[in-house]
Amino acid sequence: MHRNGDITQPAPSVFRIRALRRPLRRAVAALACGSLLAVALPLPAHAALIGTEQMLHADGTARGRIQALVARADVRRELLANGVDVGQVQTRIDALTDAEAADLAGRIDTAPAGGDVLGIAFAVFIVLLITDILGFTHVFPFTRPVR
């Protein structure tokens, strides 16, 4: 920097900021390159013929799983506690199309029991990690605060 012919040196904090930017830029560039490579890779596809027997049994298993769930005593208690008639539920299950029954059975199978505990734990970890890096807390010994 020039001021009236004098050469003044920037403050030492400017050097620290510049030194921190270089590794950050490299990390962001490496992450971007890795993401582009991952997107460019083709994913394998699997296809097969489905026989008539397999198709006929697929609907029965999906509908059977739903009916087995409704037949459980604890589910019936909850339905009655919420004012839902079990007979009406059975009628609606019977009225489902094959695709709707398969979709509902799939959603029942993939639904987390008791909520998404892993997602909540991950979110808490990320919040604590960020506050640790910013210097507000000291929870993790492997982090260094920015301050």
On whether both 101 and 126 belong to a single domain, the answer is: no
Q: Residue 133 is part of which domain span?
A: 114-147
On whether both 99 and 69 belong to a single domain, the answer is: yes
In a domain, 81, yes or no: yes
Continuous segment of H or E residues that includes residue 102? helix 98-110
On whether both 97 and 123 belong to a single domain, the answer is: no
CA distance 26 to 32: 10
Q: What's the domain count of the chain?
A: 2
Exposure string of 115-126, with b = 16+ CB inside 10 Å and e = fewer, is eeeeeeeeeeee
In a domain, 62, yes or no: yes
In order along its 147 residues, the chain shows pLDDT tens digits of 445 555 666 555 655 656 667 777 788 888 888 887 777 777 777 777 877 777 666 556 788 888 888 888 888 888 888 888 888 888 888 888 878 888 888 887 777 666 566 777 877 888 888 888 888 788 878 877 776
